[in-house]
A and B are shown apart, each in its own frame.
Chain A
Amino acid sequence: MIRAVIVMNTQGKPRLAKFYDYQPVEKQQELIRSVFAALSNRAENVSNFMEAESIFGPDSRLVYKHYATLYFVFVFDSSENELAMLDLIQVFVETLDKCFRNVCELDIVFNYSKMQSILDEIIFGGQVLETSSVEVMKAIEEISKLEAASNAISLIPYASGWSRR
């Protein structure tokens, strides 16, 4: 089971944080901080796995990937395969890339909700439900359409997180 997904920049600012077992906000903040502290201590070109039991308790592993100014962090337990999780990060980032054409940190900052729904399509309640970025994209487009349609009824249109940049 996946316990948490965190996207943060290299300054430690979280860009997306999703915990699949309920954590109070103070705890979330603390966890994100300690993950960042641990990540920023790691050299370049080392393995993508990290000891996480000291942060997330027993039976927890952590895989991260560093893209430009962002860290993508997945925390999971022994019922997931480490390399598969690494692939999953790849799927997530690929999907973001398709969605935003050459994704960069700014896209992620301004499209918080969209990123969230992409993640929700891939990981559902801590389980991996979709591993194909094509399928995810399909679903995301459908959702966007639905939202646009439901907004069109509104008297006053507003720029939602969904409107393209």
Chain B
Amino acid sequence: MSGPSIMETLFQRTLEDLIKGIRLQLIGESAFISKAMEEIRKEIKSTDLQTKSIALQKLSYLNSLYFVDMSWAAFHCIECMSSSRFSLKRIGYVAVSQSFDEQTPVLLLITNQLRKDLGSVNEFEAGLALDCLANIATVDLARDLTPEVFTLLGSSKIPVRKKAIGVILRVFEKYPEAVRVCFKRLVENLDSPDSRILSAVVGVFCELASRDPRSYLPLAPEFYRVLVDSKNNWVLIKILKIFTKLAAIEPRVAKRIVEPVCDHMRRTGAKSLMFECIRTVVSSLSEYEIALKLAVSKIRELLVDEDANIKYLGLHALSIIAPKHLWVVLDNQEIVIKSLIDADANIQSESLRLVMAVISRSNVVDISHVLLSYGHKSDPDFCNEIIGSILSACSHNLYEIVMDFDWYVSLLGEMSRIPHCQKGEEIENQLIDIGMRVRDARLELIRVGRSLLIDPALLGNPYLYRILCAAAWVCGEYVEFSTNPPELVEALLQPRTSMLPPLIRAVYLQSVLKILTFCMYSHLQKQSSISFPSSHNLEGVMAECVSRRKTRESSDILTSAQDDVFNPMISENILCEEDIPVETKGENLFFEKNRFSQESIVNLLNAIESALEPLLGTLEVEILERARNVLGLIDLIKQQIPNHLSPEEESFSREASEVWKLIRSMNDAFCEELGPVSFTAQEKIQLPEGLVLEENLRELDSIYGILQPPLNFLPQREERVEELPDSEWRSRDDLEPSNESTSLLVEHRKRHGLYYLPSGVSNDYPLANDPRSGEHDYDENEDLIRLAAQSLAPKKKPNYSKPRPVVVRLEEGEATSHIVSKKPNSKYDLLSGVVQDVLQETNPMESSQKGKEKVSSDVPPGSKENLQDLVDPMGERSGSGKSKHRSHGKERGHKIPKKNDREKDENCERARQKGSHRLGRKKTRQRAEGQTDLHAHTPGQIPDLLL
């Protein structure tokens, strides 16, 4: 040992010094650590292995607990690992296990060291090497060290053997071919009398089976024996886990294990084992009534347990069984509901999941109210979880469980007002979606939207912006249902809207434009003595009628309560408006007087103008543009009707005719129904021949040039003109494009009608946005879910039952995703392939043996009887197992560690040959006995030995 290294060693800080130093924190933790790192970098280069190892130990410590990088020290790790002194070796191994990954470049250098240590007589050295291998084995390491691991699988030292068993998992995973060498010996270990070995083997099989249960079905008899014989809870839990997987794919296994599982459930005092039994029953044995009953009674015991852990697991078990046997949940409903207010967040969310599992059309109203009231009381996270689950449950499959949309819409409104509601985006989507899909809900939507918009306090909560955005859109889009449009305008323009993000504010302004257009339209419509065609129908003709009248009338109260200007048109209007219900007649008459009057309109215009003018200076283009649009329109209106205050309606109507035209076409434009669009809509459009989507569109400029003022540009398929024939909506003039449409557009439409949204009767093209196409199974909901305007004509109804593209596609999607998720990855495929190979090599012996037995005991070969034989052959099998054992002992003789790869390969080859020999022998024997059991030899079949 050279001088400097002694000095270094003398004054080197040990790990303990380092820890003390960090704790003293004289110079702050990070400063101290970087100083320590400087030292370590120096020390680790030392030629003295002792010094180096201490430096490495400190580095590992800092790496593990202070997240210091140590990948640079890989080579030093290897140096320490190769020390002959155990303490240094251990430091090296710990560092390697901790810091190496597949990409570590020096990984290849450790193979020989590992091989040496795996063969060490010192069990702890072997243990270190195994531990290291279990953490870092790569394909190469696994391949090269398989013979050593194989040897250790038969080690007489229990601690070494169990670690060797443990390492098998990683070796198989990395190098499936190792199965050919090690699998038999691994299986033999299932017979080990030592519970630690057994526990290790069962643990390995549990991991293997969880990835690919099918390959391990042939081992079912061995597992069954463990299940029946073992007294060790750890082992039993793992065995139950294996059987849960096996029983799920093989009903015969399920049938066999019902009895022992129930026995364990009755007998055991250990909650862990009991829970595992319950879990096995509820996930794989729920068809067996005895087992299920027992499990359910045990679940109940868990649920009423004081211990929160046990209770949580009880709920967890319920949620496993819920999809198959909902009654179990319903039986325990009370406990589940009570658990919603548990102090424990896990218990809360587990019970929430259960409550959501029982939700249905009949109880959705009650449950939602109960949940929301819990939500108010609980902490924000859970509250949001509740809101989220209500939203997703109710919107599932196009609001399948919602019968009463008025209720649901007001529920959405109520949710929005919960202070810590963070589901704004989802609520926004649903509000708009319902608006588009469900006509009957629009009245309520407007009402909810109005109350949200009008409340200035809500504008302070950023979580609500998305909801407000939806509310503003709904109010603009469906303004005809509003009881008071000017009030909406006022709400949309209130000063606090300046707090909104620009894009949402733009939606607000757009809605103002729509509402303004609507007000002007209904005002001018009167003026120009066009009788206003009758109104919409909602729940009933009457109610709708009232609301519509009210709409326009009440609106004036705010703006011009004292408006006494007599307008002859009003009386006309009263006359032409039919059927004012008796109970509201007085009210309505009062409002009739106050329809949009000149003055109220002017007030509205002025109010909008004064609110928008400041916005002209804004830098946000979206806002600026929309504000300009609205102001431009107002300008136009004001110019066109200079003397609109005068009651001489004759001159007025003439002058206003221009405005009237403009407003009418705008209104028509806004009247276009917006329908929901299916996800797959785009895909359904077949690309016609000759259409080049990437083509430069400049040619269109010429067409564009000819077009009339853009206001007339929008297609006018449907006027907002409705009648109520038999409480059924009908759109008029579907076929007849409005006279204002430019001829060009009509022409274009005629030629390329396919690419327009379907508008008329003659439409054999399947509606892309027809959610009902997949929902014919519940007709009672038919009147609830309404779609885009096109689908409203009664004639179109038969079409609904025709194509169901939407749902079919959805199911396809689900199916594929299932398949994908079930598909094991290629690595496990490889592994299971080899495992099946190996098992097939071993199986014939058993199957033939069993065959013999069958013959001798004269049991007719039938599947039922075979099932009952499961245990008997197993008794037999233990014998055969022993004989196999012996033969393996012999085999082991050949296979004793070969350090050479080629030899090892030969080894594999031999093993394979041996298997096939045996297979051949078996086959002949079987033939001799006249037993032709092909199953055992056909790969992928249910292995014969199960029977």
Interface residues of A (CB under 8 A from B): 1, 13-18, 20, 22, 25-26, 28-29, 42-43, 45-51, 78-79, 81-84, 86-87, 109-110, 112-113, 116-117, 120, 124-131, 135, 139, 142-143, 146-147, 149-151, 153-156, 158-162
CB of B529 within 8 A of chain A?
no
29 contacts between A and B (CB under 8 A): A17-B64, A22-B101, A25-B68, A46-B344, A47-B309, A51-B345, A79-B206, A81-B237, A82-B313, A83-B275, A84-B233, A86-B272, A87-B272, A109-B23, A110-B19, A124-B134, A125-B131, A125-B167, A127-B166, A127-B200, A129-B196, A129-B200, A139-B159, A150-B88, A154-B50, A154-B85, A156-B6, A159-B14, A161-B15
Residues in chain B near residue A49, CB distance under 8 A? 309, 312-313, 346
Report whether B10 and A156 are in contact in the complex, using a CB–CB cutoff of 8 Å: yes
Q: Scan residues 268-283 of chain B and give those whose CB is less than 8 A from a CB of chain A.
A: 271-272, 275-276
Report whether B309 and A127 are in contact in the complex, using a CB–CB cutoff of 8 Å: no
Q: Which of B10, B65, B131, B237 is the one whose CB lies under 8 Å from A15? A: B65
CA A149 to CA B577, docked complex, whole Å: 107
Residues in chain A near residue B312, CB distance under 8 A? 47, 49
CA A126 to CA B167, docked complex, whole Å: 10
Residues in chain B near residue A82, CB distance under 8 A? 272, 275, 309, 313
Interface size class of B (residues with CB under 8 A): 35 or more
Report whether B87 and A84 are in contact in the complex, using a CB–CB cutoff of 8 Å: no
Q: Which of A17, A29, A147 has the most CB of B within 10 A?
A: A147
Report whether B196 and A83 are in contact in the complex, using a CB–CB cutoff of 8 Å: no
Give the nearest-CB partner of B85 in chain A: A150
Give the nearest-CB partner of A131 in chain B: B234
Report whether A156 and B9 are in contact in the complex, using a CB–CB cutoff of 8 Å: yes
Residues in chain B near residue A109, CB distance under 8 A? 19, 23
Residues in chain B near residue A110, CB distance under 8 A? 16, 19
Q: Which of B68, B135, B210, B349 is the one whose CB lies under 8 Å from A125? A: B135
CB of B769 within 8 A of chain A?
no
CA A116 to CA B94, docked complex, whole Å: 9
Residues in chain B near residue A162, CB distance under 8 A? 87
Residues in chain A near residue B345, CB distance under 8 A? 42, 46, 51
Report whether B19 and A112 are in contact in the complex, using a CB–CB cutoff of 8 Å: yes
What 13 new A-B contacts, CB under 8 Å, besides A46-B344, A46-B347? A15-B65, A16-B64, A46-B343, A49-B309, A49-B313, A82-B309, A83-B275, A109-B19, A125-B169, A126-B134, A128-B199, A129-B200, A161-B14
Report whether A113 and B163 are in contact in the complex, using a CB–CB cutoff of 8 Å: no
CA A128 to CA B312, docked complex, whole Å: 24
Report whether A146 and B309 are in contact in the complex, using a CB–CB cutoff of 8 Å: no
CB of B67 within 8 A of chain A?
yes
Residues in chain A near residue B253, CB distance under 8 A? none
Give the nearest-CB partner of B68 in chain A: A25
Residues in chain B near residue A156, CB distance under 8 A? 6, 9-10, 50
Report whether A25 and B67 are in contact in the complex, using a CB–CB cutoff of 8 Å: yes
Residues in chain B near residue A112, CB distance under 8 A? 15, 19, 61, 65
Q: A25-B68, A48-B309, A81-B272 are in contact. Are A158 and B170 (CB under 8 A)?
A: no
Report whether A81 and B275 are in contact in the complex, using a CB–CB cutoff of 8 Å: yes
Residues in chain B near residue A154, CB distance under 8 A? 50, 85
Report whether B61 and A127 are in contact in the complex, using a CB–CB cutoff of 8 Å: no
Give the nearest-CB partner of B166 in chain A: A124
Residues in chain A near residue B64, CB distance under 8 A? 14, 16-18
Report whether A128 and B203 are in contact in the complex, using a CB–CB cutoff of 8 Å: yes
Report whether A125 and B86 are in contact in the complex, using a CB–CB cutoff of 8 Å: no
Report whether A28 and B88 are in contact in the complex, using a CB–CB cutoff of 8 Å: no
Residues in chain B near residue A159, CB distance under 8 A? 14, 16
CB of B241 within 8 A of chain A?
yes
Q: Whole-angstrom distance from the CB of A37 to the nearest CB of chain B?
A: 12
Residues in chain B near residue A29, CB distance under 8 A? 67
CA A99 to CA B4, docked complex, whole Å: 37
Residues in chain A near residue B88, CB distance under 8 A? 150
Interface residues of B (CB under 8 A from A): 1, 6, 9-10, 12, 14-16, 19, 23, 50, 54, 57, 61, 63-65, 67-69, 85-88, 90, 94, 101-102, 122, 124, 130-131, 134-136, 159, 162-163, 166-167, 169-170, 196, 199-200, 203-204, 206-207, 210, 233-234, 237-238, 241, 271-272, 275-276, 308-309, 311-313, 343-347, 349
Report whether A45 and B308 are in contact in the complex, using a CB–CB cutoff of 8 Å: yes
Report whether B346 and A50 are in contact in the complex, using a CB–CB cutoff of 8 Å: yes
Give the nearest-CB partner of B65 in chain A: A14
Q: Which of A1, A43, A131, A160 is the one whose CB lies under 8 Å from B343? A: A43
CA A79 to CA B276, docked complex, whole Å: 11
CA A154 to CA B49, docked complex, whole Å: 11
Q: Whole-angstrom distance from the CB of A144 to the nearest CB of chain B?
A: 10
Q: Which 5 A-B pairs have the closest CB atoms?
A: A125-B134, A83-B272, A46-B344, A47-B308, A150-B85
Give the nearest-CB partner of B70 in chain A: A25
Q: Whole-angstrom distance from the CB of A84 to the nearest CB of chain B?
A: 5
Q: Which of A26, A84, A125, A153 has the most CB of B within 10 A?
A: A125
Residues in chain A near residue B346, CB distance under 8 A? 46-47, 49-51
Report whether B65 and A142 are in contact in the complex, using a CB–CB cutoff of 8 Å: no
Residues in chain A near residue B54, CB distance under 8 A? 158
Residues in chain B near residue A117, CB distance under 8 A? 90
Residues in chain A near residue B130, CB distance under 8 A? 124
Q: Which of A47, A81, A113, A124 is the one whose CB lies under 8 Å from B344? A: A47
Q: Whole-angstrom distance from the CB of B880 to the nearest CB of chain A?
A: 29
Report whether B14 and A160 are in contact in the complex, using a CB–CB cutoff of 8 Å: yes
Q: A22-B101, A151-B87, A156-B9 are in contact. Are A143 and B124 (CB under 8 A)?
A: yes
Give the nearest-CB partner of A8 in chain B: B65
CA A149 to CA B204, docked complex, whole Å: 35
Q: Whole-angstrom distance from the CB of B61 to the nearest CB of chain A?
A: 6
CA A78 to CA B207, docked complex, whole Å: 10
Report whether B272 and A84 are in contact in the complex, using a CB–CB cutoff of 8 Å: yes
Residues in chain B near residue A128, CB distance under 8 A? 199, 203, 234
Report whether B207 and A79 are in contact in the complex, using a CB–CB cutoff of 8 Å: yes
Q: Which of A50, A116, A146 is the one whose CB lies under 8 Å from B124? A: A146
Q: Whole-angstrom distance from the CB of B56 to the nearest CB of chain A?
A: 12
Report whether B309 and A45 are in contact in the complex, using a CB–CB cutoff of 8 Å: no
Q: A81-B237, A84-B234, A146-B86 are in contact. Are A127 and B15 (CB under 8 A)?
A: no
Residues in chain A near residue B61, CB distance under 8 A? 112
Residues in chain A near residue B102, CB distance under 8 A? 22
Q: Whole-angstrom distance from the CB of A27 to the nearest CB of chain B?
A: 10
Residues in chain A near residue B170, CB distance under 8 A? 125
Q: Whole-angstrom distance from the CB of A43 to the nearest CB of chain B?
A: 6
Report whether A26 and B67 are in contact in the complex, using a CB–CB cutoff of 8 Å: yes
Q: A49-B309, A49-B312, A84-B237 are in contact. Are A25 and B69 (CB under 8 A)?
A: yes
Report whether B162 and A150 are in contact in the complex, using a CB–CB cutoff of 8 Å: no
Report whether A147 and B86 are in contact in the complex, using a CB–CB cutoff of 8 Å: yes
Report whether A51 and B349 are in contact in the complex, using a CB–CB cutoff of 8 Å: yes
Report whether A79 and B210 are in contact in the complex, using a CB–CB cutoff of 8 Å: yes
Give the nearest-CB partner of A17 in chain B: B64
CA A88 to CA B537, docked complex, whole Å: 67
Give the nearest-CB partner of B87 in chain A: A147
Q: A79-B210, A112-B19, A158-B9 are in contact. Are A17 and B101 (CB under 8 A)?
A: no
Report whether A25 and B63 are in contact in the complex, using a CB–CB cutoff of 8 Å: yes
Give the nearest-CB partner of B136 in chain A: A22
Give the nearest-CB partner of A158 in chain B: B14
Report whether B203 and A127 are in contact in the complex, using a CB–CB cutoff of 8 Å: yes
Q: A127-B203, A128-B234, A147-B90 are in contact. Are A161 and B57 (CB under 8 A)?
A: yes
Q: Whole-angstrom distance from the CB of B152 to the nearest CB of chain A?
A: 13
Residues in chain B near residue A87, CB distance under 8 A? 272
Give the nearest-CB partner of A117 in chain B: B90
Residues in chain A near residue B101, CB distance under 8 A? 22
Q: Whole-angstrom distance from the CB of B268 to the nearest CB of chain A?
A: 12
Report whether A155 and B86 are in contact in the complex, using a CB–CB cutoff of 8 Å: no
Report whether A150 and B166 are in contact in the complex, using a CB–CB cutoff of 8 Å: no
Report whether A155 and B210 are in contact in the complex, using a CB–CB cutoff of 8 Å: no
Q: Whole-angstrom distance from the CB of B906 to the nearest CB of chain A?
A: 29
CA A43 to CA B484, docked complex, whole Å: 50
Residues in chain A near residue B134, CB distance under 8 A? 124-126
Give the nearest-CB partner of B313 in chain A: A82
Q: A47-B347, A112-B61 are in contact. Are A127 and B87 (CB under 8 A)?
A: no
